[in-house]
Amino acid sequence: ESSRLHQRATCTRMSAPPCAEANSAKATLLVSIEPPFRLRMASASWLHAFELVEEDLHTSSLHSIVGEGSCRDTAMLLWSAISEGRHTAVRMVVYAFGGGALLADIET
């Protein structure tokens, strides 16, 4: 599993899916709800920020995104939705390898 994605994160819950205009300014990530919770799709801005190519997604999981520095409420929301097979979407501030902040929408 890739350890290249570990980062600090702060977050807020999304009340509705983001509009197309907002998505153009931030990263988007889609995560599988089936174990081992692989990353299924990422926007070009996500891949660029973490120096990844699409093939890297198949070896990375949600565990590499949600860690010690993540908002506990958001982590609980994600894991609860996954365990119940529900769709959820959260918005997190993640920090790219270069140190810059990136607004990311993460959906299951």
Of the two residues 76 and 65, the one the predictor is more confident about is 76
For residue 71, what pLDDT is reported?
84
Q: How far is CA 79 from CA 35, 66, 73, 82, in A?
A: 11, 10, 10, 5
pLDDT of residue 21 exceeding 50:
no
**pTM of the predicted structure, to 2 decimals:** 0.69
Which tens digit of pLDDT belongs to each residue from 29-67? 999 988 898 999 999 988 988 888 999 988 988 887 777
Cβ-contact 10, 71 below 8 angstroms:
yes
